[in-house]
Structure 1
């Protein structure tokens, strides 16, 4: 069985590794008539296209920047940041195979049989955050009057911005995608006609306390999906450096993706192969990985100049509030 780990000690660039891995995986998938491996190949091809032909990122970021300019005009008193990233190579590979493991495990536990190939393919089509943008807003204390509830005021502005994003970006070549979350709750601050498109993790917090608004869009010009996340500064701090930080999130996912107590070995090839790929990535010693532009002393001390581990930043914008700008002038 071919895994990404087989290519991480070659000294090649991320692009070259993706090309070699994808080529060999496609060859095997044709020989074995493994349609899930073919879906995997096409997923790798998306990443290759982003690295080989990234001109679309300029167009995409410019159109996203139009939203930044609108917010600067409409909310000059807010401080906010726009950031964009392409998901890292290791994270993308782990998440793709993790979807397979989790879906088959949950399906087998509920129905006592394995999902069909078509059912599994449909599940894998939900991977739409290879490119993601995050908007983080904050209302500086200098704009807070005595007796005001800063958290509630920021929340009002966050939903106001959420309500204008779909139409604004649709006019610039994006299409909004239905979130397909059954039984989800939504804030009254979110327009009713937009609720099917948002994943409201403010009203639907998980056990970690993570809060954010997520929406998925399709860029018709670039022919790619993007995810936009909206948070207040307090939510972002909680998610990045607080109890809901990504390390804890990955640990929870690691637990979900390394379960196989209910799945008999050898009974489901798709599960067995995806499970092995996930386990190998979890035991990866980054200090021994040899990828051009990448260096690591350990799994926690990493210099990732190529988007292998932490992802690639593509859109850093920061807007200071009107009062803060006055101080600078």
Structure 2
């Protein structure tokens, strides 16, 4: 069985690794009549296309920048950052295989049989967050009036921004997509007409405590999906360097071991291969990886200049609120 790990010690560039991995998956697919490997191959080609061709990303980021300029004008006291990134190669590989493992496991638990190849392939068509933009807002304490609740003010501002994004971006070539979050609650601060499009993880935090607003859009000019995430600074800290990061990882590991115990080895080839690829990624010792523009002294101290382990940045914008001017009063 071919895994991404097999290509991470050659000193190649990320693009060379993805090309070789995709080519070998295609050969294996044809030799073994494994159509899921062919889907995997085509998924890798999609990643390569994003990493190779930057014209559409330039156009896209320029249109996203218009939202940044609007916020800078409308919310002069608010500090915020805009970051865009292409999901990292390792994380994308883990997510692709994780989708297979989760789907087959859930299907088996419900029906006591395994899904058809066609059903698995259909499920794998749902990737819509390979390109994501994150907006993080923070209201400096100097702009909070005595007795004001900073956290509540920030959340109110976050939802205000959320309420203007869909229409603003649709005027610039994007189409908002209906959310797949079913049965969730929504904040009263989010316009009712927009609730079908947002995944409100602020009102519906996951088991780790992760909170954020997610919106999926289709870029009609670039012909690809993007995800927009909105958080306060506290939410972002919790997700990136706080408990949500560690708890989420531990929970994922535990769930994958449970799924492996439930499905006997050898009964479903697609589950077995996806599970093994996921496990091998978790066991990767980053300090031993030899990929051009990547270095690590441990699994937590990483310098990544190629988007292997951390997402490749498309844009960074930072807006510092107005601390010293005559608008304070």
Cα deviation, residue 248, structure 1: 3.2
Matched, 1:134 2:134: yes
SS at 1:128's partner residue?
Answer: coil
Cα deviation, residue 4, structure 1: 0.8
Cα deviation, residue 325, structure 1: 7.2
Report what 2:58 is aligned to. 58
SS at 2:216's partner residue?
Answer: strand
Report what 2:321 is aligned to. 321
1:1-329 alignment to 2 at 5 Å?
1-245=1-245, 247-258=246-257, 259-323=259-323
Cα deviation, residue 138, structure 1: 1.2
The Cα offsets for residues 227-251 of structure 1, whole Å up to 9 and x where unpaired, read as 1100111211221222112x43233
- Residues of 2 paired with 1:142 and 1:11: CA distance? 50
| Range moving further from structure 2, 13-22 or 249-258 | 249-258
- Residues of 2 paired with 1:145 and 1:326: CA distance? 16
Cα deviation, residue 27, structure 1: 2.0
Cα deviation, residue 33, structure 1: 2.8
The answer for unaligned runs of 5 or more in structure 2 is: none
Aligned length: 326
C-alpha contact 1:201 1:211 (8 A) present in aligned 2: yes
- Residues of 2 paired with 1:100 and 1:151: CA distance? 39
Cα deviation, residue 324, structure 1: 5.2
- Residues of 1 paired with 2:158 and 2:271: CA distance? 40
SS at 1:114's partner residue?
Answer: coil
Cα deviation, residue 126, structure 1: 2.1
- Residues of 2 paired with 1:140 and 1:324: CA distance? 12
| Range moving further from structure 2, 5-14 or 147-156 | 147-156
The Cα offsets for residues 20-64 of structure 1, whole Å up to 9 and x where unpaired, read as 101111122133332221221121011100111122111111110
- Residues of 2 paired with 1:83 and 1:254: CA distance? 28
Alpha-carbon spacing, 1:140–1:256, altered in 2? closer, same or farther (3 Å)? same
- Residues of 1 paired with 2:79 and 2:130: CA distance? 27
Task: Calculate the aligned-residue CA RMSD, in Å.
Answer: 1.6
TM-score, scaled relative to structure 1: 0.95
The Cα offsets for residues 108-127 of structure 1, whole Å up to 9 and x where unpaired, read as 12221112223222322222
- Residues of 1 paired with 2:77 and 2:299: CA distance? 41
C-alpha contact 1:128 1:227 (8 A) present in aligned 2: yes
SS at 2:262's partner residue?
Answer: coil
SS at 2:190's partner residue?
Answer: coil
C-alpha contact 1:102 1:256 (8 A) present in aligned 2: no
- Residues of 1 paired with 2:326 and 2:123: CA distance? 50
The answer for unaligned runs of 5 or more in structure 1 is: none
TM-score, scaled relative to structure 2: 0.95
Cα deviation, residue 195, structure 1: 0.8
Cα deviation, residue 185, structure 1: 0.8
